[in-house]
Chain A
Amino acid sequence: MIHDTQYIIEVENLVKKFGSFVANDNLTFSVKKGEIFGFLGANGAGKTTAMKILCGLSHPTSGKVKVAGYDIYTQKEKIKQSIGYMSQKFSLYEELTVYENFRFYGGIYGMTRLDIQEQTTQLLSRLGLSQYRNRIINTLPLGWKQKLAFSVAVIHRPAIVFLDEPTGGVDPITRRQFWDLIYDNASRGLTVFVTTHYMDEAEYCNRLSIMVDGKIKALDTPQGMKSGMGCATMQDVFVALARN
């Protein structure tokens, strides 16, 4: 199963230790192409550590990891070209304009000027923010910044985008709109790997994993998880898993 090409992320027996502390204890999971994969867990459960390893920000202690078909130990540079990353802080340059941010991030991925312009025009029109192209970021509302941060993360047409708690600090309506944006992109073939601790968001994912104390305790569709554990909501599933 692990070498099936329909999987874009393949993780087998991933272990990450910090000294004697085991942050990731033998993780095994895979993510399908075009899937929205939720990565859940309480704070300190090890989900950020695992995500950092997948993004190449951290080295695994042991285990097999393949991202976009490339090996994490030997083909890190190729992985980096194939992924996008959005941090929970939105990571836009506040003093620069919308277009300057796009141009900068496009530039560091080695895109041509023309390509950047085309992508920017397309992404902004999809967001309905075309007329704000030359506005300075810090004059824009938080919800827009969030969407722009997402668009910036996919400007170089990555196969996978990693979203690290992308909806922190925004209101439910804006969160809803953000998920519309995620769906829209997933329907175009983008694989979305998202960490969150909002349980309503967990429901939006195609499949999810729940981590407790460095281990994956459950991995299924939201529906399958609820029926399998006899819970009415994801909230209950989460609490039940955390208690065991």
Chain B
Amino acid sequence: MKAFIKKEVYHIFRDYRSMLILFGMPVVQVLIFGFAITNEIKDARLAVLDHSHDEMSQRLISKIASSGYFLIDRRLESANQIEQVFREGKVKQVLVIPSSFGHDFTSQHQTSVQIIGDASDPNTANLLKNYTAAILQSFQMEELGKLAFPIEVKVEPLMFYNPELSSVYLFVPGTIAVILMLVSAMMTSISIAREKEMGTMEVLLVSPLKPFQIIVGKVVPYVVLSFVNALMILALGAWVFEVPILGNLAFLLAEVLLFIIMSLSLGIFISTVSPTQQVAMLLSMFVLMLPTILLSGFVFPIENMPVVLQWFSHLMPSKWFIIIVRDVMLRGSGIAYLWKETLIIVCMTVFFVFLSIRNFNIRLA
């Protein structure tokens, strides 16, 4: 068994190209996704629906216009136009000022405005909402100074198309899921298929090693590699992009390990059905990689998908994993909240292990 692991490690490290992929890709992916998503936005187009038309609302609008983040694209006359300007695509956010804005502001010390974001691009929408909220806050501070009594402007953000805004910071959990799928499932399935293709698998099966030992020997190096990769991504996320880790780190790593084992069992299953490396690679690409990227909620919010695709997304282990990682990192949730998702991944693992063993036995019989 020790000899086995050693051999596998030699194998991995001797192939410089796969080494580069294994360690370079996580870094590149995190950086790409990170910078693409967290980039600052300047001169976003804003439409204003001002029901109030008073001095106070004028001052608010000019403050927003001078912030540098927004360009006042146009002024709307009625709420019916909101949908239309979003459809045109240029305007990213609509600010709705109620008719009693100035009056409430001065007399009741409390008023509200509505921010409507185009959350078909949820990250941008969320950023703009935060910018607006900050501007409103400072506006309120300034006016408060003049009027000398407490005033509160309540911000009521309303997100069109994706009310949950669920992909902010999602790039870290998403990248972990993709990389782990790639390293654990794809690399193991390819490397086991390679043993079959080269005829070495037969020799191993003739040897006194038990099939169980062969598989464990093969996957242990990949477990370690995957784990290192996951740590790299978490570290990059935390230090370069300041993605918070609110939950228990040990719990998070345990969930990562569980997902690695799930991916490995999936990889083993793929290898039992693919006779050659090429087949294993193709299967991994189409069965694992694309759905992981497209259907797990990593790139496209699941809420926006057609119902049928939403059902499919439930079958994606990565979907549940992304939920777990996101909740642990961003909400600080523990097992009490995530037992259901964890249980789903455990069941999937058992299912794939069962299928692999069954396929293996059929081949032996």
A57 interfacial by beta-carbon distance below 8 Å: yes
B208 interfacial by beta-carbon distance below 8 Å: yes
In the complex, chain B residues whose CB is within 8 Å of the CB of A103: 3
Find out whether the CB atom of A80 lies under 8 angstroms from the CB atom of B203.
no
Find out whether the CB atom of A91 lies under 8 angstroms from the CB atom of B200.
yes
Whole-angstrom CA separation of A84 from B207 in the bound complex: 8
Find out whether the CB atom of B208 lies under 8 angstroms from the CB atom of A100.
no
Whole-angstrom CA separation of A206 from B346 in the bound complex: 57
- Give B208's nearest chain A residue, CB to CB: A80
Find out whether the CB atom of A95 lies under 8 angstroms from the CB atom of B14.
yes
Q: B10: shortest Cβ distance to chain A, in Å? A: 6
Known: A80-B206, A95-B15, A110-B208. A59 touches B199 (CB 8 A): no
The size class of the interface chain A forms with chain B is 20 to 34
B41 interfacial by beta-carbon distance below 8 Å: no
Q: B361: shortest Cβ distance to chain A, in Å? A: 10
Find out whether the CB atom of B207 lies under 8 angstroms from the CB atom of A95.
no
The residue that A85 contacts in the complex, of B7, B202, B364, with Cβ under 8 A, is B202
Find out whether the CB atom of A91 lies under 8 angstroms from the CB atom of B203.
yes
A109 interfacial by beta-carbon distance below 8 Å: yes
Can you list, as one digit per residue, whether each of B181-202 has a CB less than 8 Å from chain A (1) or not (0)? Answer: 0000000000000000111101
In the complex, chain B residues whose CB is within 8 Å of the CB of A90: 199
Whole-angstrom CA separation of A86 from B198 in the bound complex: 12
Known: A58-B364, A59-B365, A87-B202. A93 touches B11 (CB 8 A): yes
In the complex, chain A residues whose CB is within 8 Å of the CB of B6: 104, 107
The residue that A55 contacts in the complex, of B15, B197, B206, B208, with Cβ under 8 A, is B206
Known: A83-B206, A100-B10, A109-B207. A93 touches B3 (CB 8 A): no
Interface of B is mostly: helix
Find out whether the CB atom of B365 lies under 8 angstroms from the CB atom of A89.
no
In the complex, chain B residues whose CB is within 8 Å of the CB of A59: 364-365
- Give A76's nearest chain B residue, CB to CB: B208
Whole-angstrom CA separation of A88 from B204 in the bound complex: 14
A239 interfacial by beta-carbon distance below 8 Å: no
B20 interfacial by beta-carbon distance below 8 Å: no
Find out whether the CB atom of A109 lies under 8 angstroms from the CB atom of B208.
yes
B2 interfacial by beta-carbon distance below 8 Å: yes
Whole-angstrom CA separation of A106 from B207 in the bound complex: 10
In the complex, chain B residues whose CB is within 8 Å of the CB of A153: 203
Find out whether the CB atom of A104 lies under 8 angstroms from the CB atom of B4.
yes
B148 interfacial by beta-carbon distance below 8 Å: no
A96 interfacial by beta-carbon distance below 8 Å: yes
In the complex, chain A residues whose CB is within 8 Å of the CB of B2: 107
A77 interfacial by beta-carbon distance below 8 Å: yes
The residue that A100 contacts in the complex, of B7, B15, B209, B364, with Cβ under 8 A, is B7
Find out whether the CB atom of A58 lies under 8 angstroms from the CB atom of B4.
no
Q: B362: shortest Cβ distance to chain A, in Å? A: 11
Interface residues of B (CB under 8 A from A): 2-4, 6-7, 10-11, 14-15, 197-200, 202-209, 364-365
Interface residues of A (CB under 8 A from B): 55-59, 77, 80-81, 83-96, 100, 103-110, 153, 162
| Residue contacts A-B, CB under 8 angstroms, 15 given | A55-B206, A57-B202, A59-B364, A59-B365, A85-B206, A85-B207, A89-B198, A89-B200, A92-B198, A93-B11, A94-B198, A104-B4, A104-B6, A107-B7, A108-B4
